[in-house]
Amino acid sequence: MAGLARGSARALLAALLASTLLALLVSPARGRGGRDHGDWDEASLLPPLPPREDAARVARFVTHVSDWGALATISTLEAVRGRPFADVLSLSDGPAGAGSGVPYFYLSPLQLSVSNLQENPYATLTMTLAQTNFCKKHGFDPQSPLCAHIILSGAVTKVNETEMDIAKHSLFIRHPEMKTWPSSHNWFFAKLNITNIWVLDYFGGPKIVTPEEYYNVTVQ
């Protein structure tokens, strides 16, 4: 009887653990990259996509709602020296609803991408609405141009003293975990100085936006 009871208890425990694990696997994450964009309160929806005819405004929109992007640099690693090297980096252009359009980063010399940038500061950054609920909600594949994404090219530089507080506030309010990252990693604030912009939000190829057009957008 005791053996039977133990067997039943183990079976019950296994069933409970299985149901819990299943719930964790199938439930979409809330916050960054999940069902709702992490920088607007949970009850609110992602702001509507601007008209596709206004490519500059679409570019600013994608930058602002993005919490991360893929940054491509030129590798300094001996095994792949001179080849493209991409990595995912957290970023922010400002507090929710008050974006500047400037992609700010919190970087460490220990990162491979930073080693690349120290030798060649030129880089290309891609951000996509696939990290929000927009594309899943409308059934758009991340590679589809309807799942709007943008490509920004330029040079990554450290921010100067006058811009330090802006970069810090922009990043820490969107990525509060950064405040706890070990100081021994010598973190510093940086930004992408944008020289070229491409917007893919519909069929027919990318739309070219100038930095002037991009920064002249009034964010609402």
Amino acid at 209: V
Residue 8 pLDDT: 53
Q: What is the mean pLDDT of each run of 10 residues along the chain (220 residues)?
A: 49 45 36 37 65 96 97 97 97 94 98 97 98 94 97 98 97 97 97 98 96 90
* pLDDT score of 145: 95
pLDDT computed for residue 150 by the predictor: 98
CA distances from 216 to 42, 56, 97, 111, 213 (A): 30, 9, 16, 33, 5
To which residue do tokens 């930073």 refer? 114
Q: What is the pTM of this model?
A: 0.79
Q: Which of the four CATH numbers 3.40.50.1360, 2.30.110.10, 3.10.180.10, 2.60.40.10 does domain 50-216 have?
A: 2.30.110.10
- CA dist 154 and 141 (Å) reads 27
**Confidence at residue 10, expressed as pLDDT on a 0 to 100 scale:** 53
pLDDT of residue 219: 74
